[in-house]
Chains A and B, each alone.
Chain A
Amino acid sequence: DQQVKQNSPSLSVQEGRISILNCDYTNSMFDYFLWYKKYPAEGPTFLISISSIKDKNEDGRFTVFLNKSAKHLSLHIVPSQPGDSAVYFCAASAPGANSKLTFGKGITLSVRP
Chain B
Amino acid sequence: SAVISQKPSRDICQRGTSLTIQCQVDSQVTMMFWYRQQPGQSLTLIATANQGSEATYESGFVIDKFPISRPNLTFSTLTVSNMSPEDSSIYLCSGTRGITEAFFGQGTRLTVV
The answer to the question of A43 belonging to the interface, with a C-beta cut-off of 8 Å to chain B, is yes
B99 contacts A32, C-beta separation under 8 Å: yes
Roughly how many angstroms separate A103 CA and B46 CA in the complex, as a whole number? 13
Q: Which residues of B contact A4 (CB under 8 A)?
A: 42
B42 contacts A105, C-beta separation under 8 Å: yes
- Give min CB distance, A36 to chain B, whole Å: 8
Q: Which of B68-76, B77-85, B100-108 contacts A (4 or more CB under 8 A)?
A: B100-108
Quick one: which of B9, B48, B103 contacts A100, CB cutoff 8 A? Answer: B48
Roughly how many angstroms separate A104 CA and B105 CA in the complex, as a whole number? 18
Q: Which residues of B contact A34 (CB under 8 A)?
A: 99-100, 102
Q: Which residues of A contact B4 (CB under 8 A)?
A: 43
- Give min CB distance, A42 to chain B, whole Å: 5
With A49-B99, A98-B31 given, is the CB distance from A42 to B43 under 8 Å? no
Roughly how many angstroms separate A62 CA and B25 CA in the complex, as a whole number? 28
Q: At the interface, is chain B mostly helix, strand, loop or mixed?
A: strand
Roughly how many angstroms separate A36 CA and B42 CA in the complex, as a whole number? 12
A49 contacts B92, C-beta separation under 8 Å: no
Which residue of the partner chain A has the closest CB to B10?
Answer: A41
Range, interface on chain B: 20 to 34
Range, interface on chain A: 20 to 34
A104 contacts B42, C-beta separation under 8 Å: yes
Which of A45, A49, A98, A99 gathers most chain B CB within 10 Å? A99
- Give min CB distance, A43 to chain B, whole Å: 3
Roughly how many angstroms separate A4 CA and B30 CA in the complex, as a whole number? 25
B100 contacts A89, C-beta separation under 8 Å: no
Roughly how many angstroms separate A43 CA and B7 CA in the complex, as a whole number? 13
CB-CB contacts of B17-44 with A at 8 A, as 1s and 0s? Answer: 0000000000000110101000011111
Roughly how many angstroms separate A102 CA and B104 CA in the complex, as a whole number? 14
Which residue of the partner chain B has the closest CB to A100?
Answer: B45
Roughly how many angstroms separate A98 CA and B104 CA in the complex, as a whole number? 16
A43 contacts B92, C-beta separation under 8 Å: yes
Q: Give the contacts of A84-109 with B (CB-CB under 8 A).
A: 89, 91, 93, 98-106
Known: A91-B43, A100-B45, A103-B43. 8 other contacts (CB 8 A): A42-B106, A43-B92, A98-B48, A99-B33, A99-B98, A101-B45, A102-B45, A103-B44
